[in-house]
Structure 1
Amino acid sequence: MKLLIIEDDEAFARTLSRRLAKHGFDCHIEHNEEQVIATLESVEPEYVLLDMKLQTLSGLHFIKQIKAFNNSIKLVLLTGFASIATAVEAVKLGADDYLTKPADTLLIAQTLLGKENIEQEELPKERMSAERLEWEHIQQVLKANEGNVSETARQLNMHRRTLQRKLQKKPVQK
């Protein structure tokens, strides 16, 4: 089961690769958006996990090209900036599914393989709490804004002081 992970965050891509390998995937990573099609042709994957926000391009840019290469590739778009409009656009362009970050590895594997391919016992007993999800989302937006608290607060539609208080708290477990 060859999987091509197209993700510009190298550390995140390596982590995904290690974790998805435990679910039986033969993972290949491409960080450079200029090399995506060349890597696609050399790897010939059955599955593609495509990040929405790459270095300079949107992952939406590659969906038609990937599907034109091989329409049977199972393509899942992964994004930290979810919206109904981008989800609809991704599906219209040919994506098979759409997941928002943070998505746990089991959910990604289930989405790539189809839920019937994962044993019920493998499902996590606990889901991430709403507080933890909020903390993870704040961290992602802060990282995207290169640590700019004011811009992050604007994007999250949150008062700057409220965001600073949330950032001072330790991350909530699960």
Structure 2
Amino acid sequence: MQETAERLLIIDDDEMFCHVLDRALSRRGFEVLVAHDAAQALFLARRHQPQLATLDLKLEQESGLKLLPELLEIVPNCRVVVLTGYSSIATAVEAIKLGAVNYLCKPADADDVLLALSRAEGDPETEVADNPPSINRITWEHIQKVLQEHDGNISATARALGMHRRTLQRKLQKRPVRR
């Protein structure tokens, strides 16, 4: 391994995804570190000071959004891309506000990750959708927004939405609705 290889920390609880991304990025010359939870991620960040990181939004029982500021406190110049299978406008906005350089929806491959990490500026040529999101998608987005406002507290979110906590938990277990 070259001395100048950039260190990239993958933080994701999906071991297969980590393995595939690790191999692809290692082949491209990166020194790859992998963490499956917040404690392991913070330990590796302190010890190895990665220049780049991918951070899963939903780590088992932990929120990637809560981990992001802690990670950037340890490694302030680290460029972090948040990856998620549960995308929403609310979490994308919060991730950027908290210091992520980009936000990607899974599935994402190594090329997607590297492109997201390399982009320093927004793209004004990004296409705007021709049709509005579905009512189901709007509902999903609203739930995510209210969940963020209540710091991920499901009981408080359920009360704010006027629904039973278990109903909300079932809705949150499902993949987000397509636009």
Structure 1 match to 2:61: 56
Give the CA deviation at 1:22: 2.3
RMSD: 2.2
Moved over 6 A (4+): none
Structure 2 match to 1:102: 107
Mapped to 1, the partners of 2:67 and 2:176 lie a distance apart of 31
Alignment check: 8 A CA contact 1:33 1:55 kept: no
Is residue 18 of structure 1 aligned with residue 8 of structure 2?
no
Structure 2 match to 1:163: none
1:45 aligns with one of 36, 50, 57: 50
Structure 2 match to 1:35: 40
Is residue 5 of structure 1 aligned with residue 10 of structure 2?
yes
What's the TM-score, normalizing by structure 2? Answer: 0.62
Q: Give CA-to-partner distance per residue, 1:15-68, whole Å, 9 cap, x none.
A: 110011222211000113322211111121000110111010110011111111
Alignment check: 8 A CA contact 1:23 1:109 kept: no
Mapped to 1, the partners of 2:94 and 2:7 lie a distance apart of 26
What's the TM-score, normalizing by structure 1? Answer: 0.64
Map 1:1-174 → 2, pairs under 5 A: 1-114=6-119, 155=174
Secondary structure of 1:87's counterpart equals helix
Mapped to 1, the partners of 2:53 and 2:175 lie a distance apart of 30
Report how many residues are paired: 122
Name the % identity. Answer: 38
Give the CA deviation at 1:156: 5.9
**Which runs of 5 or more structure 2 residues have no equivalent in the other structure?**
1-5, 121-169
Mapped to 1, the partners of 2:176 and 2:81 lie a distance apart of 28
Letter in 2 for 1:2: R
